[in-house]
Amino acid sequence: MGWVEIDGSYGEGGGQILRTSVALSVITGRPVRIYNIRANRPNPGLRPQHLHAVLALKELSDARVKGASVGSTRLEFIPGRPEPKHIRVPVKTAGSITLVLQALLPAMAFVGSSFEVTGGTDVPWSPPVDYLKHVTFYALERMGLKVELEIKRRGHYPKGGGLVVGEVEPWEERKPLKALRWGRIERFAGMSHATNLPAHVAERQAKAAKERLGEVYSAPVEIETEVSRSLGPGSGIVVWAETDKLRLGGDALGKKGKPAEVVGREAADELIEALKTGMAADRFLGDQLIPFLAFTGGEVGVSEITNHLVTNVWVVEKFFGKVFEVEGEIGRPGTVRVVRRVEV
């Protein structure tokens, strides 16, 4: 099979193009050539977390790789045969663990594997690990894919030092996902954490989020608190609504000078905004499900069609041709429908 050529500056032009492209290369066995990697970013090319994701997929599939170095704007990835393995990914910085897992999970799903990733669990511009565990994995389980994940240690910017371990079971039964609009909210839940900080930080974040959600909805709210030690201080909260369809989430990170109450309300407000649209998935989940939906079929309503989602669709279709129908404008609620399911 010939090379798949991917322009890394397309659409939102970030690291996600790389993550999805290399994962699909492993799944399909097709070599991929990516150029203009992160060309539109202030520091273009591969950053450490992207490099670690590539190296982990290289190990999983015994691939041959050219251009795998920090700062590289071109990458050639020629996969071998993927086999179940225990993959260790040592991101030395606060590089996002969840973004590394975004690259690994689709490929691991087809063989089953375990993982151990160090880095940042709760860092800016990436999904917090509790979101992945409680929102993303909940949806994937509805699609027949089981992923276990345990947070051994938190890691915040700039020191990192987080540790996450887990296992992906082989994806035997790929179930179509049909989730357009939610009908009722069963409950709200969440996780509020404080690392190397007083316990009251986590408690105040949780209390503020609970009060804010209670102002708008009558469903029960249970937010757990966690206090821990790691390399550096940090706090954050993830809240989610369990509906009759999927879970929608909202999150916020603490920072110096930002009151815990503001952090809690911010997460609750993000969730409330997503719920107001009536759609079954929030904007982050919609984009994360794209590579998996291609193999299950179905249709999903998302609270916002994002650049990330549209770019992910484009990458999938570079490998398989027409797969999706996206209805709705960028920045507005819409639906994603699989018009031709991919068989591998």
- Per-residue model confidence as pLDDT tens digits over 323-334: 999 999 999 999
CA atoms within 13 A on the CB side of 208: 23
Q: How confident is the model at residue 12 (pLDDT cuts 50, 70, 90)?
A: confident
Start-end of CATH 3.65.10.20 domains in the chain = 4-178+281-338
Cis upstream peptide for 158 (omega within 30°): yes
Whole-angstrom Cα distance, residue 25 to residue 103?
A: 11
Give the model's pLDDT for residue 135.
98
DSSP 113-126: EEEEEEEBSB-TTS
Which class does domain 183-276 fall in? alpha beta
Which residues have a Cβ under 8 Å from the Cβ of 74 and sit 6 or more positions away? 33, 34, 35, 37, 66, 67
Kindly state the helix (H) or strand (E) to which residue 270 belongs, with its residue range: helix 260-276
Return the percentage of the chain with pLDDT > 70, whole number.
100
Which two structure tokens, joined as six digits, stand for 6?
A: 């991917």
pTM, entire model = 0.97
CATH fold label, 4-178+281-338: UDP-n-acetylglucosamine1-carboxyvinyl-transferase; Chain (3.65.10)
Burial class (CB in 10 A: 0-12, 13-18, 19+), 211: middle
The answer, yes or no, to whether residue 344 has pLDDT greater than 90, is: no
Give the model's pLDDT for residue 92.
87
102 marked as binding residue: yes
288 marked as binding residue: yes
| φ/ψ bin of 165: left (φ > 0), alpha (ψ from -120 to 50), beta (otherwise) | beta
Q: Sheet containing 221-228: which strands, arranged edge to edge?
A: 221-228, 185-195, 234-243, 247-253
62 marked as binding residue: no
Q: Cβ of 1: how many Cβ atoms within 10 Å?
A: 7
Start-end of CATH 3.30.360.20 domains in the chain = 183-276
Query: Per-residue pLDDT tens for 116-139?
Result: 999 999 999 999 999 999 999 999
Q: Sheet containing 113-119: which strands, arranged edge to edge?
A: 86-90, 113-119, 162-168, 147-153
Catalytic residues, which ones?
Answer: 308
Which residue, 177, 184, 213, is CA-closest to 286?
A: 177
The answer, yes or no, to whether residue 27 has pLDDT greater than 90, is: yes
Give the model's pLDDT for residue 40.
83
284 marked as binding residue: yes
Give the model's pLDDT for residue 319.
98
The answer, yes or no, to whether residue 1 has pLDDT greater than 80, is: no
Average pLDDT over residues 57-62: 98
Angle, alpha carbons 15-20-22 (nearest 5°): 95
230, 220 Cβ separation under 8 angstroms: no
Query: Per-residue pLDDT tens for 140-149?
Result: 999 999 999 9
Mean pLDDT for all residues in the chain: 97
